[in-house]
Amino acid sequence: MADVELRFHDRLNDLLKPARRGRTLTLAATRRAAIKDVIESLGVPHTEVDVILVDGASVGFDHLLAGGERVEVYPWPTAPEAAQHLRPTPPACPRFVLDAHLGRLARHLRLLGFDCRYRPDIADAELAAIAEREDRVVLTRDRPLLRRKRIRLAHWVRHTDPWRQVEEVCDEFDLYPAFAPFTRCARCNGRLASVEKAAVLHRLEPLTRRHAEAFLECEACGQLYWHGSHVARLEERVARLRRRGLRKSER
């Protein structure tokens, strides 16, 4: 069987070994193989792929390579517009499930108002099942997780700094119009509701009793929130994110 020529475009190169990035790869074709298996064997999960062209024609993940083809693999959003797009379109306000490595990202996204399922002890099989059952977007630093067939829509988080991760996810899914700060509990993901100070007075420290007047309480776990220095810092970060989103929309 003739060799297959395969080229990954744009950010898909992040997922390849350094020696394979930015160049056409030549693969020995010893048997007919599904293009999805070939792509994932090189380290690129199917969830990161939007368009596959084989000799210029769009194909799906189940396309069988016979040898001698030239394959082009594109990510979203830089794939050719006229092609068959394999990446599902995310909802305007997606719900997320995050792997065990992304606890701080989950906390930040919850404070921005996004529904995030997260547990530090969550196993890969359970995470994939939640994503399928509840139609959630998977956020992960674990590339092998994304090879599971049950996962349809996901994002491999490139950055390691939590706030850079927030910016990355907001850019990837255009979350800026859906911000709803201080509507979800950062600790458990429950909804926040206003509560009278008198109802929670017995739970407050002396300084908080003296200086805070408006309170939010998690309907699920009872966690209290009030306007303090940490809220002011978050408000400034939200403002910076909104400016970032505005700049992107103007490009």
How many CA atoms does the CB half-sphere of 155 hold within 13 Å? 24
At residue 180, does pLDDT exceed 70? Answer: yes
Going 117 to 135 to 88 to 183, the CA torsion angle's sign is: negative
Q: Centre a 10 Å sphere on the Cβ of residue 208 and count the other Cβ atoms it contains.
A: 16
pLDDT at 231: 79
Q: Is 233 helix (H, G, I), strand (E, B) or coil?
A: helix
pLDDT at 227: 83
Mean pLDDT of the chain: 94
At residue 60, does pLDDT exceed 90? Answer: yes
pLDDT, mean of residues 135-143: 96
pLDDT at 108: 96
The candidate with the shortest Cα–Cα distance to 188, out of 248, 242, 118, is: 118
User: Which residues are within 8 A (CB) of 2 and not within 5 positions of it... i.e. 6 or more apart?
Assistant: 29, 67, 68
Where is 27: in which H helix or E strand? Answer: strand 25-27
pLDDT, mean of residues 4-24: 96
E-strand stretches of 35-172:
51-54, 57-59, 64-65, 70-74, 96-98, 116-117, 137-140, 154-156
pLDDT at 1: 65
Ranking 23-32, 105-114, 115-124, 159-168 by mean pLDDT, the lowest is 23-32
Q: What is the pLDDT of residues 205-228, one digit of tens each?
A: 999 999 899 999 999 999 999 887
pLDDT at 234: 84
